[in-house]
Amino acid sequence: MSANRKGDRRERELVNRLDDSGFAVMRAPASGSATERELPDVLAGDGDRFYAIEAKSSSGDPIYLTGEEVEALIFFAQNFGAKARIAVRFDREDWYFFHPGDLYTTDGGNYRVKKETALADGVDFEEFVGVSTKTTLDDI
């Protein structure tokens, strides 16, 4: 299966899960190709929270985003009045969400998310949609 088809399938999966969780949600297929401006992959809102989401998936390798992708997401989100989020999904794992400022920045100005970072530090799907909250040992 091509990487693009798999990425499209993952984006649709995220859209459906957000929809099932009560969000009004829209996917921007082939984001960036229909206009000169880069668009986020997904727009989602529930009346209280509004997100512009760049979604990436991987079989297990680290996920990289270019500095331009992240800058375009932040620019769009600010102008739209939404919160910018990066959603990552590794095979056999759930979706994890990050604020762009929480991502590791490479020496070349790009961004990276490793699987272990997503599992340890990412906001999981249930917390993202408000079903649960994360409790750490420091909270106890």
* Residue 107 labelled as part of a binding site: no
**82 in the Ramachandran plot: left (φ > 0), alpha (ψ -120 to 50) or beta?**
beta
- Alpha-carbon distance 120 to 35, whole Å? 36
User: Which residue among 2, 21, 31, 57 is the active-site one?
Assistant: 31
* Residue 11 labelled as part of a binding site: yes
* Residue 54 labelled as part of a binding site: yes
Active site residue 21: no
- Alpha-carbon distance 9 to 67, whole Å? 24
Which strand (E) or helix (H) includes residue 22? none
Annotated binding site: 11, 41, 54
Catalytic residues: 31
Annotated binding site for Mg(2+): 11, 41, 54
